[in-house]
Structure 1
Amino acid sequence: MIIQFSAGKLIVSPFEVQVRLNNGCQLYAMVDDIKFHQDALILVADAGAVRWNLKLDSNEQLQEIKDELGIC
């Protein structure tokens, strides 16, 4: 599944999340390392030594990602 957002696009599969930013940066995370801050619309990837977060544009985008990953 591909989700467009203001800073680029998210590519979500059952195993990983890829973020391709408009400035050329690419971020990857395994699904097990993904968390969400629902109220702030933030997707967080935390794999211990590597951590990044991404502010989404809408609650709908966040819900689409959670649905695709099977997260309630």
Structure 2
Amino acid sequence: MIIDFSQGKLIVMSDEVQIRLADATLYAMAEDIQFRTDVLIMYADAGAVRWSIKLDSLAQLSLIKDTLMS
């Protein structure tokens, strides 16, 4: 699934997330993704992978979370 958001595009598959920004692409495996729903943050923290990004809405966060957990 591809989700447009204010900073670029989120490409969400059942096993991986790609975040395409203007000048960079961030990757993480689904098991490395976590969420902070109170502040709309999706983040990855595993080994050499460490990033966080603020989403535009709770609906986006919920859609991503549901896709990764299916």
CA distance in 2, matches of 1:43, 1:49: 17
Aligned length: 70
Check the 8 A contact 2:43/2:50 in 1, yes or no. Answer: yes
How far did residue 49 of structure 1 move?
Answer: 3.0
Q: What TM-score do you get using the length of structure 1 for normalisation? A: 0.91
The equivalent of 2:35 in structure 1 is 36
Q: What TM-score do you get using the length of structure 2 for normalisation? A: 0.93
Helix, strand or coil at the partner of 2:38: coil
Q: Deviations over 1:23-47 (max 9, x none)?
A: 2210000001000001010001111
- Structure 1 portions without partners, runs of 5+: none
Give runs of ≥4 in structure 1 deviating > 6 Å: none
Aligned residues with identical type, % of pairs: 61
Check the 8 A contact 2:28/2:49 in 1, yes or no. Answer: no
Show the 5 A alignment for 1:1-72: 1-21=1-21, 23-70=22-69
Check the 8 A contact 2:33/2:44 in 1, yes or no. Answer: yes
How far did residue 50 of structure 1 move?
Answer: 2.5
